[in-house]
Structure 1
Amino acid sequence: MAEPTVSAVILAGGRGRRMGYQDKGLVECNGQPLVAHVMAAIAPCVGDIAINANRNLDEYGRLSRPVIKDRHPDYPGPLAGIAAGLDWCPTEALFVVPCDTPGIHGCCVERLRAALDGAEIAVAHDGHRLQPLHALVRRRCRDSLTRFLAAGGRRVDQWIETLDWRQADCSDRPEMFFNINSPEALHD
């Protein structure tokens, strides 16, 4: 099967509770917002990039266009950001990545693309566990996700289990998935 054309959505729509309610994507790391690190790493491997955000839209807009909001109110979680990304997605497949993993590498996209084959979604595995917010999702999964959210579903891993999915081995690069969840983690 031919490799799909890929766009990306960077998930930056959360409340940032563990980061003291700061907008995590805009928190600086080595002189740049976290989201800028992610954008730079994935840009060579994808076409269009959107940022999913629910606040500070003008600031995100200076970094990338488009900036897309959740269609669901009250910060229902990353699935709402994935749904917004699938609503926007101009290509056959959407790379989903959180804004708080500045060590992400383009090889993640390539491994997910290779693993996807005929499946609906490919999910990265770091050698210890699945990384469900590092995934390549076919645009055709939008209706499935809409139904899952409408039924009250909120957990990414539970939605993935409803799909035909594959695992991408990223066990040789587990540092790609280290996420910045607190101000202290910025200095680790």
Structure 2
Amino acid sequence: MRRADTLAVVLAGGLARRMGGGDKPLRLLAGRPLLDHVLARAAPQVAAVVLNANGDPARFAAYGLPVVPDGLPDHPGPLAGVLAALDWAAAHRPDLPWVLSLPGDCPFLPRDLAARLHEARAREGAPLACARSGGQAHPPVGLWPVALREALRAALLGGERKIDRWTARHGIAHADWPAGPCDPFFNANAPEDLAEAERLLAQGLQDGRPPPIRLLEPNAGRTPP
């Protein structure tokens, strides 16, 4: 279900130290950039998508999406990327009062993520919502009201860097998913994570399906006469 009131921001501005530097969302998974996998799952759920990234935006030109840099210096973390998206929505899409934040290294995001986060927010009467799997919260995967952008700006200028500490002050709901057989919020932080993602894709586990049952051939396991 597409949310006509929500902008998605893919947080692609990290320094990717564990991946060896560079743009982690442009690393390949199954022959396609991680960002392709994220967008394939996220874009059908929302009205519009922007990328949060610093530096030369030309490296993302092939995607034809607005590239929104942090509005604060010194790369203060994902909260700055969220604020950049809230500011962009207020300036360019005032018809979109909500922003869905997504890490650029999560290739298996749920296809009902936006709808479930909105449901959790409405059910619990909270202004914010966050994804959770297997009891583990994922603060960068969240739903943010544009109306809180000045409060977020003040917190960042005051030195706040932790997402969950800031959201707890305002009230946050959680939407839950199972963590297996493949955690939908699996993130590829390092080269070995990309290898694991390749394995999950090869086994068809990326949408929470159990592994296929392998039937034995009629004579498998039998001792020949």
Instruction: Please give the TM-score of this superposition, normalised by the length of structure 2.
Output: 0.78
Amino acid across the alignment from 1:10: V
Partner of 1:128: 135
Q: Distance in 1 between matches of 2:22 and 2:58?
A: 16
Instruction: Tell me if the contact between 1:4 and 1:92 (Cα under 8 Å) persists in the aligned partners.
Output: no
- Percent identity among equivalent residues? 37
Determine the structure 1 residue equivalent to 2:38: 38
- 1:9 has 2:13 as partner: no
Match of 1:93 among 89, 98, 105: 98
Q: Distance in 2 between matches of 1:94 and 1:106?
A: 16
What SS does the aligned partner of 1:177 have?
coil
Structure label with greater radius of gyration: 2
State the partner residue of 1:103. 108
The aligned residue for residue 207 of structure 2 is none
SS of 2:154's equivalent in the other structure is helix
| One-letter amino acid of the structure 2 residue matched with residue 184 of structure 1 | E
Separation (CA, whole Å) in 2 of partners of 1:123 and 1:51: 19
AA aligned opposite 1:82? V
Q: Secondary structure at the match of 1:48?
A: strand
What letter corresponds to residue 17 of structure 1 in structure 2? Answer: R
Higher relative contact order (CA 8 A, sep 6+): 1
Distance in 1, matches of 2:137 and 2:97, equals 23
SS of the residue corresponding to residue 152 of structure 2 reads helix
Q: CA deviation at 1:167?
A: 1.0
In structure 2, which of residues 98, 110, 118 is the aligned counterpart of residue 113 of structure 1? 118
For residues 56 and 38 of structure 1, what CA distance do their matches in structure 2 show?
Answer: 21
Aligned to 2:73: 73
Distance change >3 Å, CA 4–CA 93, structure 1 → 2: farther
Runs of 5+ consecutive residues of structure 2 not aligned to the other structure: 197-225
C-alpha displacement at 1:34, in angstroms? Answer: 0.9
Structure 1 CA distance for aligned equivalents of residues 10 and 64 of structure 2: 10
CA contact (8 A) 1:68 1:85 kept: yes
The one-letter code sitting in structure 2 at the alignment partner of 1:52 is: N
> Which residue matches 2:190?
182
- Larger CA deviation: 56-65 vs 96-105: 56-65
Cα deviation for residue 4 of structure 1 reads 7.2
Deviation at 1:81, TM superposition (A): 0.5
CA contact (8 A) 1:7 1:95 kept: yes
| Equivalent AA in structure 1 for residue 177 of structure 2 | C
1:134-174 deviation line (CA, Å, top 9, x unaligned): 11111111011101101100111111111121111223666
TM-score for both structures, normalised by structure 1: 0.93
* 1:48-95 Cα deviation digits (max 9, x unpaired): 100001134112132132110001122111111011011112211111
Give the superposed CA RMSD. 1.6
Is this contact kept in 1: 2:4–2:46, CA < 8 A? no
Paired with 2:18 and 2:179, the residues of 1 have a C-alpha distance of: 28
5+ residue gaps in structure 1? none
